[in-house]
Chain A
């Protein structure tokens, strides 16, 4: 029996994530943790003076959903202004809650394949980990040591 949820796009982003690596020159980074699952990522972004996300990467461990979701997010937001990334994060988080239009979902590109998570309550935290971490980073705008705070909050 073929798997219904773990499709090729998701597994490819999990096994060969384009953006999972150490990154030089990041000016914001934050750890995001799901203590109950053991998902643990550090997201790093390089945001230029004009507020555009020039580059991004993540490191860490976690299930395929958390890892692929984060990789797909970075695919989508690299090269975009902060405000646009925040708008897309809002769409993604609404999609996971099941309240999004088809047009909005299309804007998420590959990340739109995670819409079924809205029917998998146990996996919601995995799917939103990278997105929440990014939101938190970009909304304070405080660079670097937010990592500790994120960790403490999660525990």
Chain B
């Protein structure tokens, strides 16, 4: 372990257990002490219902909540904080778009294009929307190595295309999709572009204005913040014309017995008591990431991904899904090992103290497209070390033998 490894890992209480080899970062990351402290401090010092109190601590709670919104806007390069809606997670953000934008602006005969590599959270809301509205759902397929072709995409587009849903980074391949180019083509035919940023936002700098996506969804818990706080970015002119998603407290302007008017964006979309503790935790996480710096995060993740990928290739009968170049994996290494079912792979890894994911990774249509039932996935974060990878490779190398194969 290098000095830098030690310094970074010291921020994360759970990593003080040296036997824990945590390689399931795409599912959820660990949380640094600074985030845990910030959440605790919120509840210890200013706890009150934000947005509605007229007394000191409620005003401070509101300020902290809104400071988190500003920090998120800054983090993804949004034009203004009003374009940031807090949700529970990326799943809720994407559902919000489907229910609110979708039901108001998608009509029978419109076409919705969804990439085949989507997590179910950016697939099912569109499948349901298509069923409800009579819109046509079309899949944009990738090559076996996970690459999406712009030329193929152009062939799918038409005047009827109303919405395109695509991830910036698949949770199976780890490849960064050129969403800027896809969004530009979608806009050419007048479609809105919904981008799932759950996997990309923690690992690469994002600028939504540069990407020119219309909606961008991500989760706090995959980027060191607590579970239960997520983000929907939407272009203001779109958010303004969309109806509310949930109705209730704190999202209204004026309520009468038989009608109501609603608050301005983003509050129109934040019905009920908000997760201010979570937002404050997310604020602390963003400050923490800034403190570490993108240079360090990207350098460490890229170097470690390359090391892990190369070592995996040397293990007989192991196949890594996706690109042949490690730099296209961004810490996500999804694999199969001949003759060993992924759930057994994960169970044996667990016996060696290594935490990985196994199954279909909420991407069943993608697995079907690739002709694979299920896979195993190791996913790295910048706090992982060469020792973590060595432990993973040792377990992987002995896997077939443990399962009773002669080699």
Contact = CB atoms under 8 A, between A and B. Distances in A.
A3 B351 contact: yes
Contacts, number: 52
B207 interface: no
Given A5-B347, A37-B374, A63 B341 contact: yes
A38 B348 contact: no
A126 B360 CA distance: 16
A142 interface: no
Contacts of B404: 6, 8, 11-12, 14-15
Nearest to B348: A3
A62 B352 CA distance: 22
A62 B347 CA distance: 14
B344 interface: yes
B402 interface: yes
Contact of A6 (B359, B374, B402): B402
A123 B404 CA distance: 19
Contacts of A64: 340-341, 344, 403
Interface in B208-247: none
Nearest to B406: A15
Interface in A37-57: 37-38
B258 interface: no
Interface in B350-384: 351-352, 359-360, 373-374
26 contacts: A2-B402, A3-B348, A3-B351, A4-B351, A5-B351, A6-B347, A6-B403, A8-B404, A11-B403, A12-B404, A14-B403, A15-B403, A37-B343, A37-B359, A38-B359, A38-B360, A61-B341, A62-B341, A63-B342, A63-B343, A63-B344, A64-B341, A64-B344, A122-B343, A123-B347, A126-B343
Interface of B: 339-344, 347-348, 351-352, 359-360, 373-374, 402-405
Per CB-CB distance, the 6 closest pairs between chain A and chain B, nearest first, are A11-B404, A63-B341, A63-B343, A3-B402, A38-B374, A38-B373
Interface of A: 1-6, 8, 11-12, 14-15, 36-38, 61-65, 120, 122-123, 126
